[in-house]
Amino acid sequence: MNVLEASGLGKRYGRTWALRQCTLEIPAGRVAALVGPNGAGKTTLLNLAVGLSVPSAGAVTVLGGRRAGSPAALDGIAFVAQDTPLYKNLSVADMIYVTRNLNRRFDRPYAKARLDELGIPLRRRAGKLSGGQQAQLALTLALARRPRLLVLDEPVAMLDPVARHDFMATVLAAASADGVSVLLSSHVLTELERVAGYLILLARGQVRLAGEVAGLLSAHGKPSLEELAMAYLRESPPAVAR
């Protein structure tokens, strides 16, 4: 099964195409990294995948053929948006309550145990938590939904190195222990080195490269993801002739 399939997918804002001619198949059971410079179209692609926006061209399906944003797709996908939006005036316990009631499945013991482990008090307001704690709370709420696909948009961009490490450790644990497929975007390449099994390279709204990390590295003769990406982004043709 593919967790995401896009064919000829495009999204236009006004006259600008944020994403064009995107054809992709991301297999299940991997941590897939969506990599590219700022403005490459990463967030646009993720918003289309979780059904927050509708395509201007082409189509995108998730979890083996479900229309993005359909009830079945919403049930199986947990999304943590950029800057991890939470209701700042609600307590952590209220955020758990709200998330539990808005979803078919919610593993409350998991959420409580995880927050306890992280030392996040249930009575504190979400807005009073540190940036790292807010990110961990958003991730915990997402994982407690027991999703089949976890989508993370720039999850670690705002975090300090320690928080970054902890966050990615949680993601990896979920991916390896529970078999959750993960699709995450980032422009911090070093973080992805350890975690990503599948790579999608986006630049200027188009897919430049997609495939298994191991296969791509050997095919291009590069020792690391970072070098591969850097080389590819430099080599890739500048503005595409329109």
Partner 1 sequence: MTARTMPARPGEDDTGQRPLPWRRMAGVTWRQHRIALAGVAVLLGALAVWLWMAGTPLHHAYAAANACRPASSPACQDLLNTFNGSATNHFMGDKGPGGVLLQLLPALIGAFAGAPVLARELETGTFRYAWTQGFGRWRWALAKLVLLAVVLAAATAAFGVLVSWFYQPYSGAGNQVPGLYQNSPFGDLFSLREVTFPAWTLAAFTIGALTGMAIRRVVPAIVATLAAYAGLAFATAGFLREQYLTPLVTASLNLPGASNAWVLSQWSTKDGRFAFAGNPPDSLLNQLCSSAPGSKDGPPGDVFAQCLAPHGYTQWISYQPASRFWPFQWIEGGWLLGLSALLIAATVWLVRRRAA
Contact residues for partner 1, defined by CB under 8 A: 1, 47, 50-54, 61, 64-66, 70-72, 74-75, 77-79, 81-83, 85-90, 94, 97-99, 101-105, 138, 145-146, 148, 178-180
N- to C-terminal Cα separation, the chain = 35
Nearest to 203 by CA among 231, 157, 238, 228: 238
Which residue number, 25 or 193, has a Cβ lying nearer to partner 1? 25
Closest separation between CB of residue 77 and partner 1, Å?
Answer: 7
Which residue number, 8 or 85, has a Cβ lying nearer to partner 1? 85
DSSP 96-121: HHHHHHTSS---HHHHHHHHHHHT--
Instruction: Tell me the C-alpha distance between 161 and 149, whole Å.
Output: 25
Instruction: Tell me the C-alpha distance between 52 and 232, whole Å.
Output: 30
Sign for the CA dihedral angle at 192, 194, 198, 199 comes to positive
Which residue number, 9 or 216, has a Cβ lying nearer to partner 1? 9
Which residue number, 144 or 209, has a Cβ lying nearer to partner 1? 144
Closest separation between CB of residue 90 and partner 1, Å?
Answer: 6
Closest separation between CB of residue 98 and partner 1, Å?
Answer: 5
Give the three-class secondary structure for 185.
Answer: strand
Which residue number, 72 or 240, has a Cβ lying nearer to partner 1? 72
Closest separation between CB of residue 200 and partner 1, Å?
Answer: 20
Which pairs with CB-CB distance under 8 Å and at least 24 residues apart come from 113-119?
Answer: 114/140, 114/143, 114/144, 114/170, 115/140, 118/166
Which residue number, 99 or 229, has a Cβ lying nearer to partner 1? 99
Which residue number, 44 or 201, has a Cβ lying nearer to partner 1? 44
Closest separation between CB of residue 82 and partner 1, Å?
Answer: 8
Which pairs with CB-CB distance under 8 Å and at least 24 residues apart come from 221-230?
Answer: 224/193, 225/33, 225/189, 225/192, 225/193, 225/196, 225/199, 226/189, 226/190, 226/193, 228/199, 229/35, 229/189, 229/199, 229/201, 230/189
Closest separation between CB of residue 61 and partner 1, Å?
Answer: 7
Closest separation between CB of residue 240 and partner 1, Å?
Answer: 24
